[in-house]
Amino acid sequence: MNGNQESGDGENLERQGGAGTVTVTGTGWAEAAPDLMLVSIGVECRAASVEASYSGAGEALAAVIAVFRSAGVASADTRTTGLTVRADLVWREGEGQQVAGYVAGSTLSIRLRDLASASGTISEAVRAGGNDARLNGLQLTLSDDSAVREQARAAAWQDALRAAAQFAALASATLGPVVSVTEHNPAQGPVPLAGIQRASAVESLAIEPGESRVETAVTVVWELHA
């Protein structure tokens, strides 16, 4: 893990008589190697009837799930996130839209905790699903970011403190006690890997974990002493 910081913003200096306050927003971040992979994988089966498409999708999905089960993925780390059945419509000259068949699909959200074997497991799962398999996307993240977030907070605090001390000096004052502290967590998500749609693309899939970044910001109000 390592921490760093970025320049702060949102500074505000107020003085009334011999006292006042200074308000500064500091930002900081820290990084650590991810230990969790989130996988979105599913199946989509086309057939002449609703029953056939639904049955085909169910068989393909069962084959995909079986691979993850054999790899030791717990049921708590496997969740169905979508199930659809729709008509497959085509446009025919002089006839308009016609039903050419039906499409059934389902999507799974999988959490893989063994990154070393993740690539092979995903390849086997997509292969098991055959041409009906769809690999929608992969994301690398931290299962617990509390320690990294503490480093990010410390970096953000130091960023705010440096700016506040500079403003106090420019105002010929010194920093007094802290009046208030507010944390702001920027919107962020796991580090994404490119989405892959077809099974043929998974054969050469290589996973480079890199590092996941946690960012935060703190707004701190200090008293100013003349």
pLDDT of residue 12: 67
The predicted-structure confidence for 121-165, as pLDDT tens digits, reads as follows: 999 999 999 999 999 988 899 999 999 999 999 999 999 999 999
Count CB atoms within 10 A of the CB of residue 4.
Answer: 13
Q: Answer yes or no: pTM beyond 0.75.
A: no
* Fold classification of 37-140 (topology level): Alpha-Beta Plaits (3.30.70)
pLDDT of residue 40: 95
pLDDT of residue 14: 60
pLDDT of residue 89: 85
Domains 2-33+145-189+213-225 and 37-140 share a fold: no
Q: Is residue 120 scored above 70 in pLDDT?
A: yes
Q: Is residue 200 scored above 50 in pLDDT?
A: no
Q: In degrees rounded to 5, what are phi and psi of residue 207?
A: -110, 120
Count CB atoms within 10 A of the CB of residue 34.
Answer: 20
Measured CA to CA, the distance from residue 165 to residue 216 in angstroms comes to 21
* Fold classification of 2-33+145-189+213-225 (topology level): Translation Initiation Factor IF3 (3.30.110)
pLDDT of residue 173: 92
Domain boundaries, the chain: 2-33+145-189+213-225, 37-140
